[in-house]
Amino acid sequence: MEVLYFAWVRERIGLPKETVDTQALTVMELVDELRAREERYALAFSDLSALRVAVDQDLADFDAPLKGAREVAFFPPMTGG
Amino acid sequence: MRIVVQKLPFDSGVELNAFTAKQSNMGAIVSFTGVVRDFPNGGLQYMDIEHYAGMTEKALEAIATDAMSRWDLGDVLVIHRYGMLTPQEPIMMVATASKHRKDAFEAADFLMDFLKSRAPFWKKEQTSASHEWVASKQDDEDALKRW
């Protein structure tokens, strides 16, 4: 699964994108797996209320299922316009 | 409907004229242009805009399609830039064409509210001393509830 990071999430983790080998069934399970990896991940995912997630380029919730998902992205609330 | 995501600057006057010329029998054209604003005391070097290529286009199309279904519109234009922008440069524009002004105004307002917090762009302000991500505003999130 491709995992993408944007804005300060990208900066905190230190890379824009990575391929993750995971059996996670939900976004939350994936977050827990990433948190357990290293301090920089734990820091980036310390406050989920400050994060948004997209599954296959559609905004989703943290309890969204990952079955069949190819791409998951984590980012702060958007500031377009 | 025309959705453009680009790095290069654009001329909002030229874009608006082209959009207007394309319409037939539309009595109302409304446009909005967002411009990079400096700090009150100056010092902004760049507004660096990051986006999620792929999702950006999808999200903008979905927002514009939603506007077309809610109001009586003949056409919608959305242009949004990414990359390094300097103060006074246009960031984005929307234009709507309708038979009547109410639909054109409301749809443009709706598009702006959703572009603010549902299109995957992130702004970072760079000065000579620091750079900081622009925080999202609760007001912008609340504005979505109007619709």
Whole-complex ipTM: 0.95
Q: What is the pLDDT of residue B96?
A: 98
- The terminus-to-terminus CA distance of chain A in angstroms comes to 30
Q: What is the pLDDT of residue B15?
A: 98
Residues 6+ apart with CB under 8 A from A68: none
Give chain B positions within 8 Å (CB) of A7: 50, 122, 124, 133
* Length of chain B (residues): 147
Identify the weakest region by mean pLDDT among A9-18, B93-102, B136-145. B136-145
Q: Does A57 touch chain B (CB under 8 A)?
A: yes
Q: What is the pLDDT of residue A13?
A: 97
Higher-pLDDT residue of B141, B64: B64
CATH superfamily of A2-75: Beta-grasp domain (3.10.20.30)
Q: What is the pLDDT of residue B50?
A: 98
CB contact under 8 A, B122 and A54: no
DSSP per-residue string spanning A31-80: HHHHHTT-HHHHHHTS-GGG-EEEETTEEE-TT-B-TT--EEEEEPPP--
Average pLDDT for chain B: 96
Instruction: Provide the shortest C-alpha distance from residue B23 to chain A (in Å).
Output: 25
CB contact under 8 A, A80 and B124: no
Give chain A positions within 8 Å (CB) of B52: 4, 6, 54, 57, 73, 75
Q: How confident is the model at residue B103 (pLDDT cuts 50, 70, 90)?
A: very high
Q: What is the pLDDT of residue B121?
A: 98
- State percent of chain A over pLDDT 70: 100
b/e A41-69 (16+ beta carbons within 10 angstroms → b): beebbeeeeebbbbbbbeebeeebebeeb
Structural domains in chain B plus CATH codes: 2-146 (3.90.1170.40)
Q: CA-to-CA distance for B25 and B78, rounded, in angstroms?
A: 21
* Phi-psi region at A48: left, alpha or beta (left = phi > 0; alpha = psi -120 to 50): alpha
From residue A65, how far is each of A34, A50, A72, B8 by CA, in Å? 16, 20, 11, 38
The tens digit of pLDDT for each residue in A17-29 reads: 999 999 999 999 9
Residues 6+ apart with CB under 8 A from B26: B74, B75, B97, B98, B99
Q: What is the pLDDT of residue A76?
A: 97
Q: What is the pLDDT of residue B9?
A: 97
**Probe site for chain A from B5, B36, B52 (most A CB atoms < 10 A):** B52
